[in-house]
Structure 1
């Protein structure tokens, strides 16, 4: 049976699954009409990582091609870590059991010692509630040789026919059939992916990294009667938007530090080289407000 720990306050009720990557299993807004989901939640069944409400991505985000990457004259191999995926994806933190370090009424801290290929690290995550929302702070300490680190957050939101997404970005990556980046295109060239004034999600497949994101986004959920705000901390200026179809019931808006396969791109865009003992901090806040009726 999957163990959950809960943190609550007057405006939120959040359940965390330590053994499933320290993921947020559920996050509800406590409205006048009762609880409504801020995230697509897990309510039982198989406790798979991507059945949760939000995953932690550490020590990198998304895919790395070519069996690994070269850094400072050495090749660092990485094997695929998910069935059906030809490339390693999203690090290994989301697949691991984390240790609960402390848990109070409205905050909890969990820790994980990870090894994936040549990545050796300790990650600590703190979930804390306040009137401003649910703050998630992820600290990644390099405990191995210097390497380029990254990461981020992978929330899963409810998708209804009326769900609208609003955020500003400068460019977007197109992708290959196996979900690697191809062209880095200005948003003005792809107006159907311009969400700057708020828009419905596309009817077709979307799985693209938007760059030059200003770190803020809003999701309007008329069916639930709430608007969900996302605010990313420093270093998270890429947003991956994923939804396979209009009737799937979910979409992902992922604040991350780097684009897909950044380890194999010139200049390692968005990645941070950590020396032994150095720490990278990433953060995200989710808040909600009621919609006027």
Structure 2
């Protein structure tokens, strides 16, 4: 049952979870994004309605020219990233909170609708502990099968703003997807290149990346998913995005959601104080 505080905050579309010295604020009205993640008094996510950490669903990254095929039918999505469609529709939707919230857990859902052409439901579960946050997202259908993707786009602050050093990112991908002039993977795999990046990487043993603010905080991002996009071309933030497939994956690596086989993805962010 939701606490009185959660019920009050639901009226202004902010749900707050607390565990130990960690606090998460969820914005179901803003695409069910994490608006804030505070660890021992330090905000680690870039602030603003377009930032925090938002779900990418029912596709991740860019879909070429906004089009994807399901069998013999071609569908057109809004072209909101130049010629492409980007990051799915879930980040624009108002999600509903499911019953059963506690001080440390909450779940939300929204039903797929226009411009997405297939009925279905997306759920997202937040589980906060004193030293980690686990996110789980599922895409389900009881009708037609369709290709889909899911993942998260967190904007980790490059600098925590307390006089410390900028964040350092460590990860060891098996390969890097070559990025074409249209900003999409070409299908060619490269040895990992040096940054800055707006690139997709393969990690067949699961995503495992560590962000370290020297002398302050370490956050390890893990997921059984095999794909991660890293975006660090902006001065304010570094994005480490676990996802179920690569950009344009609706076309190049389609994963069908069926009535008996939903798509599920999970990620855990675990932190350690370095002070």
Q: Offset of 1:120 from its aligned partner? A: 2.1
1:182 CA drift (Å): 2.6
Contact 1:38 1:228 in 2 (8 A): no
Aligned to 2:172: 168
Query: Could you say which residue in structure 2 is the equivalent of 1:12?
Result: 22
Q: Select the residue among 240, 243, 250 that pairs with 1:263.
A: 250
Equivalent residue runs for 1:133-152 within 5 Å: 133-152=132-151
Q: How far apart are the structure 2 equivalents of 1:156 and 1:171?
A: 23
Q: Is 1:110 aligned with 2:108?
A: yes
Deviation at 1:279, TM superposition (A): 1.7
| Distance apart, 1:243 and its partner CA | 2.0
* Secondary structure at the counterpart of residue 19 of structure 1: helix
Q: TM-score, normalised by structure 2?
A: 0.85
Note the C-alpha offset of 1:92.
Answer: 0.5
| 2:59/2:250 contact within 8 Å kept | no
Distance 2:61 2:143 in 1: 21
Residue 183 of structure 1 deviates from its aligned partner by: 5.3
SS at match of 2:250: helix
For 1:280, which of 260, 263, 270 is the aligned residue? 263
Give how far 1:2 is off.
5.5
> What does 1:87-126 align with in structure 2 at a 5 Å threshold?
87-102=84-99, 103-115=101-113, 116-126=115-125
Gaps of 5+ in 2: 1-10, 160-164
Q: In structure 1, list runs of 5 or more residues that go unmatched.
A: 193-201
- The answer for the alignment partner of 2:32 in structure 1 is 22
Q: 2:227 aligns with which of 221, 235, 238?
A: 238
Q: Deviations over 1:89-126 (max 9, x none)?
A: 11101110001113321111111111243232201111
In the alignment, the residues of structure 1 paired with residue 93 and residue 182 of structure 2 have an alpha-carbon distance, to the nearest angstrom, of 25
Please give the TM-score of this superposition, normalised by the length of structure 1.
0.81
2: CA distance, partners of 1:12 / 1:67: 38
The number of residues matched between the two structures is 257
CA RMSD for the aligned pairs?
A: 2.1
> How many Å separate the matches in 1 of 2:182 and 2:30?
26
Following superposition, the deviation at residue 132 of structure 1 comes to 4.4
* C-alpha separation in 1, matches of 2:167 and 2:66: 38
- In 1, the alpha carbon distance for the partners of 2:70 and 2:58 equals 15
User: Structure 2 CA distance, aligned partners of 1:29 and 1:11?
Assistant: 6
Superposed CA offset, 1:39-77 (max 9, x none): 2234xxxx3xx23x1001111111111441223222233
